[in-house]
Copies of this chain bind each other. A is one copy, B any other.
Amino acid sequence: MYNWKEVLNQVNEALAAMPFGRKPAELYAPIRYVLSLGGKRIRPVLMLMAYNLYKEDVGTISSQALAIEIYHNYTLLHDDLMDKADMRRGMPTVHKKWNDNAAILSGDSMLVMAYQYMMKDCPAGKVADVMGLFTETALEIGEGQQYDIEFETRSDVTEDEYIEMIRLKTSVLLACALKIGAVLADAPVRDADRLYRFGESLGLAFQLQDDYLDVYGDPAVFGKKVGGDILCNKKTYMLINALAKARDDDKAALEEWLAKPEGTYAPEEKIRAVTELYNKIGIRELCDRKIRYYFDQAREILAQVDLPDSRKAFLWDMAQSLLGRKA
Contacting residues of chain A (94-136) with chain B, CB-CB under 8 angstroms: 101, 104-105, 107-109, 111-113, 115-116, 119, 124-125, 127-128, 131-132, 135-136
| Chain B residues near A104 (CB-CB < 8 A) | 78, 81-82, 104
Q: Quick check: B115 and A78 within 8 Å, CB to CB?
A: no
With A26-B150, A147-B24 known as contacts, the answer to whether A112 contacts B124 (CB < 8 A) is no
B119–A135 CB distance below 8 A: yes
A112 touches B138 (CB 8 A): yes
Query: Does A40 sit at the interface, judged by CB under 8 A?
Result: no
Q: Which residues of B contact A139 (CB under 8 A)?
A: 22, 109, 112-113, 116
Contact between A124 and B128, CB atoms less than 8 A apart: yes
Interface bits A12-40 vs B (CB < 8 Å: 1, else 0): 00000000001110110000000000000
Q: Looking at the complex, which one of B107, B108, B132 makes contact with A119 (CB distance below 8 Å)? A: B132
Which residue, A112, A127, A131, A138, has most C-beta atoms of chain B within 10 A? A112
Interface bin, chain A: 35 or more
CB-CB under 8 A for A128 and B119, given A22-B143, A146-B26, A146-B27: yes
Q: In the complex, which residues of chain B have a beta carbon less than 8 angstroms from the beta carbon of A105? A: 78, 82, 142, 145-146, 149
Measured between beta carbons, the chain B residues less than 8 angstroms from A128 are 119, 124, 127
CB pair B108–A27 under 8 Å, yes or no, is: no
Closest to A139 in B: B112
Q: Which of A23, A82, A107, A146 has most chain B Cβ within 10 Å?
A: A146
What is the distance, in angstroms, from A196's C-beta to the closest C-beta of chain B?
Answer: 19
Q: A149 CA to B146 CA in the complex, in Å?
A: 28
Chain A window 142-172, contacts with chain B (Cβ cutoff 8 Å), 1 for yes, 0 for no? 1101110110000000000000000000000
Residue of B nearest to A122 (CB): B128
Other-chain residue from B22, B23, B115, B138 in contact with A135 (beta carbon distance below 8 A): B115
- Chain B contacts for A119, CB-based, 8 A: 128, 131-132, 135
CA–CA, A130 and B104, complex, Å: 26
Give the residues in chain B near A146, CB-CB below 8 Å. 24, 26-27, 105
- Which one, B27, B125, B131, contacts A143 given CB within 8 A? B27
Which listed residue (B27, B81, B142) contacts A142, Cβ 8 A? B27
Interface residues of A in 20-77 (CB under 8 A from B): 22-24, 26-27
How far apart are A69's CB and chain B's nearest CB, in angstroms?
17
CB under 8 Å from chain B, chain A span 220-244:
none
By beta carbon, the residue of chain B nearest A74 is: B108
Assuming the contacts A104-B78, A131-B131, asked whether A109 and B26 have C-beta atoms less than 8 A apart, the reply is no
Residue in B108, B135, B143, B145 whose beta carbon sits within 8 Å of that of A116 in the complex: B135
Tell me the complex Cα distance, A10–B33, Å. 44
Q: Which residue of B lies closest to A135 (CB)?
A: B116
Q: Could you list 13 examples of A-B contacts with CB < 8 Å?
A: A23-B143, A24-B146, A27-B146, A78-B108, A104-B104, A105-B145, A108-B108, A109-B143, A111-B112, A112-B138, A112-B142, A119-B128, A119-B132
Other A-B pairs, 6, CB within 8 Å; known A26-B150, A124-B124: A82-B105, A104-B104, A105-B146, A108-B111, A112-B135, A127-B131
